Amino acid sequence: MSSSSKIGVFDSGVGGLSILERIHQLLPRESLLYVADSAFAPYGPKGDEFIIQRSRHMMEFFLSQQVKAVVVACNTATAAAVAQLRQEYTLPIIGMEPALKPAASATTTGVIGVLATEGTLASDKFVDLRSRFEGDIEIITMPCPGLVEHIEQVVPDEEAIAQLLENYMSPLLKKNVDTIVLGCTHYSFLAEQIKKIAGDDIAIVDTDDAVARRLHSVLAQADLLKESDASGEIVFYSSGNPGTQKEVISRCWGEKVEVLFF
Instruction: Choose between 42 and 240: whose C-beta lies nearer to ligand DGL.
Output: 42
Q: Which of 82, 114, 184, 190 is catalytic?
A: 184
- Cβ-based nearer residue to ligand DGL, 43 or 236: 43
Give which of 208, 141, 207 is closest to 169, Cα–Cα: 141
Nearest to 27 by CA among 256, 244, 242, 220: 220
Told to check if 239 binds ligand DGL by CB under 6 A, we report no
Active site residue 74: yes
Q: Is residue 169 within 8 Å of 105, Cβ to Cβ?
A: no
Site string for ligand DGL, 29-68 (x = CB under 6 A): ------------xxxx------------------------
The answer to whether 100 touches 59, Cβ cutoff 8 Å, is: no
CA 173 to chain centre: 24
Catalytic residue of the set 9, 33, 74, 161 = 74
- Whether 144 is catalytic is no
**Beta strands, E only, 86-178:** 93-94, 111-116, 138-143
Residues in contact with ligand DGL, counted by CB under 6 A, come to a total of 17
By beta-carbon proximity to ligand DGL, the closer residue of 69 and 148 is 148
In this structure, the number of other CB atoms found within 10 A of the CB of residue 104 comes to 18
Binding mask 146-165 toward ligand DGL (x if CB under 6 A, else -) reads --x-----------------
Rounded-to-integer distance, Cα 102 and Cα 82, Å: 22
Whole-angstrom distance, CA of residue 74 vs CA of residue 89: 18
The correct pick among 31, 38, 55, 76 for binding ligand DGL (CB under 6 A) is: 76
Q: Among residues 9, 69, 74, 129, which is the contact residue for ligand DGL, using CB under 6 A? A: 74
Amino acid at 240: G
Binding site for ligand DGL (CB under 6 A): 11-13, 15, 41-44, 74-76, 117, 120, 148, 184-186
Catalytic residue ranges: 74, 184
